With several copies, the nearest count.
Chain A
Amino acid sequence: MTEKLSRLQIAWRLAQDLEEGLVVNLGAGMPLTVSNYVPAGREVIFHSENGVLGIGPRPAAGRENPQLRNAGNQPITLLPGGSLFHHADSFTMIRGGHIDVCVLGAYEVAENGDLANWILPDSPRAPAVGGAMDLATGAKRVFVMMEHCSKEGEPKILKKCSLPLTGLACVSSIYTDMAVIDRDPDGLVVREMIAGMDLAGLQSVTGASLRLADHWRVLSAPLL
């Protein structure tokens, strides 16, 4: 049977791919959970666009510093080696290609790497972009983590995005509850699928053509 990953399991799976020494920005929401699952002993430097490098574990209850929070407004700690800077320097890091990986959620990803994750045209809310466009465009690699399909069961990986874009041809890898998919110059390549899933099954819930990597593996994650 095909057991889909939970959101935390997606975060866990993505975290395994963050190599030692990378500088990684985690988008607000679900991506922020990724930092909990970096393998012990591996140093990954987490960046927050409000001017922090080297974010450590969440502070213990009662030990929060109200003047040290991430871009999701959660209390944080700094690791030894952490540093602080202002917004223009922070986005010099982002826009200038100094961030190795950013992790973002998505409404839609296209097979050419286009990303839509900031606005639903029919929303009554004011349009809010934050740092999403800067990160999508500036980071060396953009990892998307999301459910493979929308709540209505529609594919979110598409030939072409229908929603207003966040960035062009920027997504490098997609981590979903069903698969890990990389983008190469020819399109989308499935690197991992959950147990019981085959390419035809994955293709049936995907709006863009998928190829299977030669050495694809089963996508699995511990219970979290």
Chain B
Amino acid sequence: MINKIVSSLAEAVRDIGDGSVILLGGFIDQGTPDRLLEVLAERRPRDLVIATNNPSVNGRGLAVLMQAGCVRKLICSFPRAPNSDLIEDRMRAGELELEVVPQGTLAERVRSAGAGIPGFYTRTSVGTPLAEGKEHRDFEGETYVFEAAIKGDFALINAHQADRWGNLVYSGSWRNFNPVMAMGARITIAQVREIVPAGELDPETIVTPGIFVNRVVRLED
């Protein structure tokens, strides 16, 4: 019987090793996989590359992982937060590399990886510092820049409900990057608030089909 449910956060993140590329769902502090990140931080992996919209704004999750010195590179659209001094200090110390990516470009780069597409052209960022050094190309008189896919070794995401096949539904604006990151990684791990029996989620309303999900762990109340 297929069963993607694991019994603990520690088991869920057991094989995230040094140097892994990790995609994070969430937006600001909406639907972030905080508990997975905090338990991962206890293991002190080194040199992680994190792709996320923004750093932790609530001092939880990613902030804990960064404070533990686990992150070598941050790929994100909005690297600013109440605690972003940490980011800036580490950048100045040469301990953290930052790649700033427009928000929609970040989403599409990850979706591309999930869809077997090595990269795509977009008008977004043309003429700005973020397009510098990237391939430019004209289509029908408009200039576009090439953006390469970002493939994750792991995705850590947050969802509302799951079943044992890994099907997921979200709630409100906590959906955001979560279904996208789920598509772009080799192994996707979801922290969820509720697990329901297979068949209880309406097939018409499942947002992330279980094919994109490897492990599900329910948060303790």
Residues of A at under 8 Å CB distance from B? 20-21, 23, 43, 45, 47-54, 65, 67-71, 73, 76, 78-99, 114, 119, 124-134, 137-138, 164-168
Known A-B contacts A50-B27, A128-B78, A129-B100; A86 and B127 likewise in contact (beta carbons under 8 Å): no
B180 at the interface (CB under 8 A from A): yes
CB distance from B16 to the nearest CB of A (A): 20
> Could you tell me the dominant secondary structure of chain B's interface residues?
loop
4 nearest interchain CB pairs?
Answer: A80-B199, A91-B104, A95-B116, A134-B104
Known A-B contacts A128-B100, A131-B77, A133-B130; A88 and B108 likewise in contact (beta carbons under 8 Å): yes
Docked Cα-Cα span, A54 to B172, in Å, equals: 12
Count of chain B residues with Cβ under 8 Å from any Cβ of A?
A: 71
Residues of B at under 8 Å CB distance from A? 1-2, 27-31, 53, 57, 77-80, 84, 87-88, 91, 98, 100-105, 107-108, 110-111, 113-117, 122-130, 163-165, 167, 170-180, 183, 197-201, 203-204, 206-207, 209-212
12 pairs of residues in contact across A and B, judged by CB atoms under 8 Å:
A49-B103, A54-B203, A68-B173, A70-B173, A81-B198, A84-B206, A88-B107, A91-B115, A96-B116, A114-B127, A126-B98, A127-B100
Whether B167 pairs with A50 at a CB distance below 8 angstroms is no
Query: Among the listed B123, B174, B200, B204, which residue makes an inter-chain contact with A137, where contact means beta carbons less than 8 Å apart?
Result: B123
Whether A84 pairs with B204 at a CB distance below 8 angstroms is yes
Contacts of B1 in A (CB 8 A): 20, 43
**Can you name the residue of chain A whose Cβ is closest to the Cβ of B109?**
A88
**Can you name the residue of chain A whose Cβ is closest to the Cβ of B160?**
A67
